[in-house]
Every structure is written in structure tokens, then in C-alpha cells.
Amino acid sequence: MVEDELALFDKSINEFGSKFRSTLSDAPCQMVGLRDAYKDSVKSLTEKLSVKLKEEERMIEMYLEYKNRTHRQMSDKRKDTCKLIAEVKDKKQKLEDLRRNIQDLKEEYSRKKETISTANKANEERLKRLQKSADLYKDRLGLEIRKIYGDKLQFIFTNIDPKHPESPFLFSLSLNEARDYEVSDSAPHLECLVEFQENVRKTNNFSAFLANVRKAFTAMVYT
């Protein structure tokens, strides 16, 4: 029985040794398989990561490109906006200047209108006074005053030439831009009429002026 037990033990030891050797002989193959599988997995993962990384890099590039394009567009829009604001301010300033010029022109027109109105009233008053003087002298001096073209008054003397009492001796009178007396169109012509004109401008004595003109016409008849 001891021998049988020893033989059984030996058999068990041999089987254990065979299995152990078998296990040791299969282990390198399994390790190689695991290693190859690991390498394949690492390679596949690396490739996937590389593709993913490239996609992310592309997305980053697209984002940066979009960001730069957006920045340029915003910059251009800011420039356009600033330019538009400057143009609006310039037009607004020009409009304000135009309004001021129009207002100045209106005020100047109003002043000139008032000045002209005042001058016209003064002229009307002077013409009225002249007309009154005409009425006063008409019978005494044979003087007739007519209003003719160009806002002129025509003074006509008669009863100067004893041989021809109805013969007219005349001249025209108006007011120039300076509102001074302007004598013209005398018939017959009197050389001294210019001197009389200067005197009446200085003295404003119109009665003396008419008297001097009549005397000059009378002296011409007798000479």
C-alpha cells in the first residue's frame, strides 16, 4: 500500500508538473496575444485621438477665422458708423449755419425794408411839401409842378417872357440815393443850375432855390 500510495503521489506530482509546464508554455503565447491586442488598441486609440485632435484643431482654426472675420466686420462697421456720425454732424452744422444765414438775411431784409419804408415816407413828405410850395407859388410865380416818369417832379415857369407869357421855362427835380436834390433837364439850359443844386443841398432852402432859378430864366430872356 505504501508503494501504491507513493506511485499515486508520484503520478500526481508528474501530472502537476505537466500541467505547470503546460501552463508556463502557454503563458508566453497569451502574453504575446495580450501585448498585440494592447498595441492594436493603443494604435486604434491613437488614430482616433489623432483624428479627434485634428478635428478640434480645425474647429479652433474655424473659430479663430470666424472671430477674426467678425472682428474685422465689426471694425469696418465702427468705421462706417463713425464716418456716418461725422457726416451727420457736418450736415447738421451746415444746416445750422444755413439757418443762421437765413435769419441774418431776414433781419437784414427787415432792416432794409424798414429803411426803405422810412425813406419813402420821408420822400412822400418832401413831395407833399413841394406840392404845397407849388400851390403857393403857382399864382404868384406862374409855376406849375407835374409828377413825371422816374419819380421826378417837373417845374414849369410861365409869365417870364413878356412877349410870350405862356412860354414854358422848366427843369426836373428828383432825389438821389443819398436823398439829396438832383436837378436835371432844364429848358432852356441853365449853366448855373449846378450851383443852385449845391446851394439847396447845403441850405435846404427850397423857396430860395426856386426864386434863383426863376431869376436865372428871367435874366436869360432879357439878355
Nine cell digits for residue 49: 485621438
Which of 218, 220, 198, 219 has the alpha carbon at shortest distance from 209?
198
* Per-residue cell: 209: 432855390
Is 70 exceeded by the pLDDT of residue 30?
no
- ∠ CA 93-95-97, nearest 5°, is 70
Does the pLDDT at position 135 exceed 80? Answer: no
Asked whether 152 and 172 are in contact (CB, 8 A), the reply is yes
Q: Specify whether the CB–CB gap between 221 and 157 falls below 8 A.
A: no
Q: What are the two backbone dihedrals, phi and then psi, of residue 186, each rounded to the nearest 5 degrees?
A: -80, 140
Which pLDDT belongs to residue 71? 85
Q: Which of 195, 196, 201 is nearest to 181 (CA)?
A: 201
pLDDT of residue 75: 83
pLDDT at 177 over 60: yes
**What is the per-residue pLDDT for 106?**
86
Q: Is the pLDDT of residue 16 over 60?
A: yes
Structural domains of the chain, ranges and CATH numbers in brackets: 126-222 (3.30.457.50)
188 cis-preceded (ω within 30 degrees of 0) = yes
pLDDT score for 65: 87
* CA angle, 74 then 77 then 82, to 5°: 125
| 208 Cβ neighbours under 8 A, 6+ residues apart | 199, 200
- Judged by average pLDDT, the poorest of 122-131, 139-148, 201-210 is 122-131
Higher pLDDT: 49 or 125? It is 125
C-alpha dihedral, 69 to 73 to 74 to 80, nearest 10°: 160
Give the pLDDT mean for 5-26: 72
- For position 157, what pLDDT does the model report? 93
Residue 205 pLDDT > 80: yes
The CA-based angle 106-107-111, given to 5 degrees, is 115
| CB atoms inside a 10 Å sphere around CB 157 | 21
Please, which pLDDT band fits residue 153 given cuts at 50, 70 and 90? very high
Contact between residue 220 and residue 170 where contact means Cβ atoms under 8 Å apart: no
What are the DSSP E strand ranges found in 163-222?
169-175, 181-187
Instruction: Write down the mean pLDDT value for the chain.
Output: 83
Position 88 scores a pLDDT of 87
